Amino acid sequence: MSIDKKRVIAYIDGFNLYFGIRDKYGRKLIWLDVAELSKNLLKPYQSLIQVKYFTSRIIAPAEKVKRQTIFLEAIETLTDIELVFGKYQFEERICRNCGFIDQVPHEKETDVNIAVELISDAFNNEFDEALLISADADLVPVLSKFKLMYPQKKVIIAFPPARFSKEIVSLDFPYFTVGRRKLEISQLPDEIVTMNGFVLNKPEEWKRNRKKNS
């Protein structure tokens, strides 16, 4: 007798995953097929129905903006993926010792966007199990609420490399850390041709396995 597979939606905190990979393994594994990664993280009883990738478009410097744009256009060619954008802005930071004021970039709204999509999809019965790829402790309130509202559904936490949250673990959801092998077998091809014939190439800087200045 056949058993219906559990429907899974993957919710990916793009910056959390990006910086985890970069900090742990360098830049060579950043050119990531996030849909393939999500599939590779599933168990045989699960079936991936959609990937929601949460990020923000950076605004400087120009060379990093270009690399991010290429990557986002590349993953937009994947099937069953939705990109959800927050905000990226500079905020003032004042040195307590000398009073110097500089501008520090901050990503905004990703945790809120994940919360909205997770609760909305659960309410509409879009999934049986959610795969959350993030270690952002700001998600603890929504995960706590989810557990109370939808005890029949399941959230599985996949911590990015070099990322971990004791606060999330304390909620007693099943969790694991994304390993190098899963990343290695989930890479995009170096060259991607879009539907309109435009060619996207893996940035040269991401072919050299350095951990900084990506």
pLDDT by position in tens, the chain (length 214)? 357 899 999 999 999 999 999 999 999 999 999 999 999 999 999 999 999 999 999 988 899 999 999 999 999 999 999 999 987 665 555 666 776 555 555 666 899 999 999 999 999 999 999 999 999 999 999 999 999 999 999 999 999 999 999 999 999 999 999 999 999 999 999 999 998 999 999 999 998 765 555 5
The model's pTM: 0.90
How far is it, in rounded angstroms, from Cα 46 to Cα 125?
Answer: 16
How far is it, in rounded angstroms, from Cα 208 to Cα 94?
Answer: 35
In sequence order, which residues have a C-beta less than 8 Å from that of residue 88 and are 6 or more positions away?
Answer: 56, 57, 58, 59, 105, 106, 107, 108
Helix 110-123 vs helix 140-149: angle between axes, to the nearest 10 degrees?
A: 10
- Was domain 6-207 assigned CATH 2.10.70.10? no
